[in-house]
Structure 1
């Protein structure tokens, strides 16, 4: 017997190859997911304008805007992205993850592996639900409460904490990938509201300011420095 799928289960499949796109849609649809499709970046954004998706399965090699560029733009919106590609080099996978993909699967792949990865991604804590307007409850971490869409933050004592637009963008980038090491370049790219030039020291200064504001409300460490690499958000992140 197949295990039940997640309660939030709308998947958008984006691939210019109709045979692959339709095969994936039919397979995932047969396992209980609601599947929509798009054949390029423009169609993808049109679909997302009509209705949010809980997961995006995105091909890398597409005519017009490619999947890497599209992923870079879509990732800050919060929906998990599973990237598909015929490129199997380690550097290709790293690039896919660095532009914001949550997982990377090489073509050709076994349908059961695709299904397993889809299920794993949909089980992760879903701050995307708040960002896509499904709930205003936000997310929690280490007693803190954050609503990314409304840029509202409360400390563990329930007091509101004011952050600049750039600080909110930086915090959002960190909490989207708890436990993962984010390089300075990744943070500069993800924190689009950050008022800084693209150099490593800018992120270090921004992180220092954010840490100082958070520590004034609660001294428990939230952001770890990974020397020579970047930063990691320590607490588990859960829907509020």
Structure 2
């Protein structure tokens, strides 16, 4: 997942970026509203962390312009502010922000809010998301997945709900390394209590359904000592 951080205080921006990159997110940052709009067009991020008080265009104006841009990705927006008044939160949310976080905040709280927003992408059916790689097509809204057998032939995959969510997570983030904790948080949420090795069980089951040779996987690779990553060329 790609995240754009828009924060004019360099120290705060650095702390946010460090906390998120430790969790495996890809981050870019900028310091003002005009730069935010330019980077939004270039990067098409999945989520924007947007400070309310910015030089030039403030966060409210940036948020409104992003929501009004046709033909662009519709990212989640987490708004930050040093002011905690209710009217600020109401205006921010009505402008198009998805969540609101008041400074000062802990890195743990920020990461939890980001994860909660990104988890919605697997649960919402309003946006028709289709993830494609060279060998797989995952339709999030229709809850369907298929494997490309040849240039003119596909095979539907018979997956459980959890297997579908796991494949969708991998296919939408090719090349990203996931540890067990990150996959548990993505698939089960923060309420999960149990053995983290349950992830290994479900990965093994998914491999049996998508890999030509599950014992020597081509797509879902084990990263020794870390976790798993999905490898397959993406398609436009």
Q: TM-score range by the shorter chain?
A: 0.5 to 0.7
Query: Hey, what's the Cα distance between the residues in 2 that align with 1:37 and 1:229?
Result: 29
TM-score (norm 1): 0.53
Q: Does the Cα contact within 8 Å between 1:142 and 1:236 map onto a contact in 2?
A: yes
**In structure 2, which of residues 194, 206, 210 is the aligned counterpart of residue 210 of structure 1?**
206
Query: Hey, what's the Cα distance between the residues in 1 that align with 2:193 and 2:45?
Result: 39
Compared with structure 1, are the counterparts of its residues 9 and 220 closer, same or farther at alpha carbon in structure 2 (3 Å cutoff)? closer
Q: Which residue of 2 aligns with 1:224?
A: 221
Match runs of 1:117-128 below 5 Å: none
Match runs of 1:63-142 below 5 Å: 66-78=109-121, 133-135=126-128, 138-142=130-134
Q: Does the Cα contact within 8 Å between 2:219 and 2:230 map onto a contact in 1?
A: yes
Q: Which residue of 1 aligns with 2:23?
A: none
CA RMSD of aligned residues (A): 4.9
Query: Hey, what's the Cα distance between the residues in 2 that align with 1:155 and 1:10?
Result: 25
Compared with structure 1, are the counterparts of its residues 216 and 57 closer, same or farther at alpha carbon in structure 2 (3 Å cutoff)? farther
SS in 2 for 1:159: strand
Q: Unaligned regions of 5+ residues in structure 1, if any?
A: 79-127
Deviations 1:107-147 (A, max 9, x none): xxxxxxxxxxxxxxxxxxxxx9xx674446x1211232111
Query: Hey, what's the Cα distance between the residues in 2 that align with 1:72 and 1:12?
Result: 13
TM-score (norm 2): 0.54
SS in 1 for 2:155: coil
Q: Does the Cα contact within 8 Å between 2:131 and 2:171 map onto a contact in 1?
A: no
Cα shift at 1:76: 1.9
**In structure 1, which of residues 149, 156, 177 is the aligned counterpart of residue 141 of structure 2?**
149
Q: Unaligned regions of 5+ residues in structure 2, if any?
A: 1-34, 69-76
Q: From the CA coordinates, give the structure whose radius of gyration is larger.
A: 2
